[in-house]
């Protein structure tokens, strides 16, 4: 499907060009740089940080392009995928006039970013099996032309399951707006990444992060993959130096060490299996939901009580009791072996009401 991207971009952004940072105009590093009012002598901290970072993060994009088999121009790098989500909504949604569609229970950042921009949020709940309510979504997007973006998270946070790709494809082919697939947890799953299908759908956008399987949450690197036209408009409005040099270096190191990431994934997936097999033996646990991510949901009679009990034992999980469809549910991230053992020990000591 070929959607007209220019028609989707907010009018005033169509007319803008990117902020011209000094370092965007000359990309070499063999010159005398007297262009950015930096301190040429050094930094007052232990490492040298006196020069602005590469505004276009070229080295990371080169490596990512090889890994994901896309062109460098199909990649946007954000200060965490949170920034990718924020910049994306700001390019495409007119405040007070347009909307995004989300399918709760889902990661709340889409909603948060929309609220900040005064962009309305349409919600179509997942089904009881935590899949998309495709027919209702298709009906809604025909009826409501204010919807510019549909956010889909797979594996879904907080439910943990993969979203059926056939359902996603139906939406991609029938929606005139943009479909963002958030694959923050895709490394843990055996599902194929949607980056493989970028060239089939020009309204497909995929978000990934180094914060989960790569174990680099504090480095703040998120990646957004889409067609070149979309990436162009994201670059137009982003802050020029949105990713610092230290993070760029560490990201490049990480992307050159995929084996380590894969080893982490294997270990964490095995730990998840062990945790689930132990939790299955606990009588008061009503249900453990299947998970394709590095976390899973458990259901109990009184989630608030169990949550508080775990806090008293200095174990912090995520209480999802108040989220739609998740009454009685706690979301548990897979920890280290010692943390997992302690969690099981403490869960086994709990006396449910």
Ligand X SMILES: Cc1ncc(COP(=O)(O)O)c(C=O)c1O
Please identify, using beta-carbon distances, which residue of 163 and 298 lies nearer to ligand X.
Answer: 163
Q: Which is nearer to ligand X, 215 or 240 (CB)?
A: 215
Least distance (Å) between residue 153 CB and ligand X = 5
Residue 179 Cβ, how far from ligand X at the closest point, in Å?
A: 15
The residue among 23, 28, 30, 176 whose CA lies nearest residue 101 is 176
Nearer to ligand X, 107 or 175 (CB): 107
Q: What is the C-alpha separation between 87 and 191, in angstroms, rounded?
A: 27
d(CA 133, CA 139): 10
CB-wise, 107 or 289, nearer to ligand X? Answer: 107
Structure tokens of 129?
A: 């099996």
For the record, the structure tokens of 65 come out as 């392009």
The least CB distance from residue 26 to ligand X, in Å, is 30
Quote the Cα angle for 211-212-216, to 5°. Answer: 40
Specify the residue, 162 or 211, whose C-beta has the smaller distance to ligand X.
211
CB of 155 to ligand X, least distance (A): 8
Beta carbon of residue 64, minimum distance to ligand X (angstroms, whole number): 14
Q: Which residue's Cβ lies closest to ligand X?
A: 80
> What's the CA gap between 144 and 167, in Å, rounded?
20
Residues binding ligand X (CB under 6 A):
80-82, 107, 153, 157, 182, 184, 209, 211, 217, 222
Q: At its nearest, how many Å lie between ligand X and the CB of residue 209? A: 3
Comparison of 107 and 307: residue with beta carbon closer to ligand X: 107
Q: How far is the CB of 13 from ligand X (least distance, A)?
A: 23
Nearest distance in Å: CB 25, ligand X: 29
Contact 152, 163 (CB under 8 A): yes
CB nearer ligand X, residue 5 or residue 334: 334
Q: Which two tokens stand for residue 165?
A: 């790709």
In Å, what is the CA distance from 250 to each residue of 70, 76, 232?
21, 17, 25
Phi-psi category of 292—alpha, beta or left, where left has phi over 0 and alpha has psi -120 to 50?
A: alpha
Minimum distance from CB of 20 to ligand X (Å)?
Answer: 27
Count of helices and strands (H, E) across the chain: 13, 11
Cβ 264 vs Cβ 213: under 8 Å: yes
Strand order in the sheet with 287-288: 287-288, 295-299, 329-333, 318-319
Q: What is the DSSP string of 143-208?
A: H-TTEEEEEEESSPTTT-PPPPHHHHHHHHHH-SSEEEEE-TTGGGS-SPPGGGGTTT-TTEEEEE
Dihedral angle over CA of 28, 31, 35, 41, nearest 10: 120
Structure tokens at 90: 């700001």
**In this complex, which beta carbon is closest to ligand X, that of residue 3 or of residue 189?**
189
Residue with Cβ nearer ligand X (157 or 248): 157
């Amino acid at each position: 499907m070929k959607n007209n991207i220019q028609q989707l971009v907010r009018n005033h952004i169509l007319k803008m060009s990117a902020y011209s940072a000094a370092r965007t105009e000359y990309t070499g590093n063999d010159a005398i740089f007297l262009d950015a009012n930096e301190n040429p002598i050094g930094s007052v901290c232990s490492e040298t940080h006196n020069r602005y970072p590469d505004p276009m993060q070229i080295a990371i994009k080169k490596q990512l392009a090889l890994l994901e088999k896309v062109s460098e121009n199909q990649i946007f790098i954000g200060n965490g995928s949170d920034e990718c989500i924020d910049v994306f909504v700001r390019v495409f949604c007119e405040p007070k006039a347009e909307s995004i569609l989300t399918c709760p229970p889902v990661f709340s950042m889409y909603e948060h970013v929309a609220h900040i921009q005064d962009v309305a949020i349409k919600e179509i709940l997942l089904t009881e099996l935590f899949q998309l309510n495709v027919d209702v979504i298709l009906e809604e997007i025909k009826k409501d032309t204010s919807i510019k973006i549909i956010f889909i998270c797979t594996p879904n946070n907080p439910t943990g399951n993969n979203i059926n790709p056939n359902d996603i494809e139906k939406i991609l082919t029938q929606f005139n707006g943009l479909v963002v697939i958030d694959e923050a947890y895709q490394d843990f799953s055996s599902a194929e990444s949607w980056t493989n299908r970028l060239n089939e759908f020009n309204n497909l956008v995929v978000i990934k992060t180094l914060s989960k399987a790569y174990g680099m949450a504090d480095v703040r690197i998120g990646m957004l993959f889409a067609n070149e036209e979309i990436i162009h408009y994201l670059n137009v409005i982003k802050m020029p130096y949105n990713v610092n040099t230290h993070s760029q270096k560490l990201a490049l190191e990480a992307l050159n060490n995929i084996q380590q990431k894969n080893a982490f994934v294997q270990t964490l997936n095995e730990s998840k299996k062990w945790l689930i097999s132990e939790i299955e033996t606990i009588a008061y646990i009503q249900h453990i939901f299947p998970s394709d991510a590095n976390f899973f949901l458990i259901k109990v009679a009184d989630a608030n009580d169990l949550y508080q009990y775990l806090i008293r034992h200095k174990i912090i999980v995520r209480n999802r009791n108040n989220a739609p469809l998740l009454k009685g549910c706690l979301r548990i991230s897979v920890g280290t072996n010692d943390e997992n053992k302690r969690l099981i020990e403490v869960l086994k000591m709990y006396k449910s009401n």
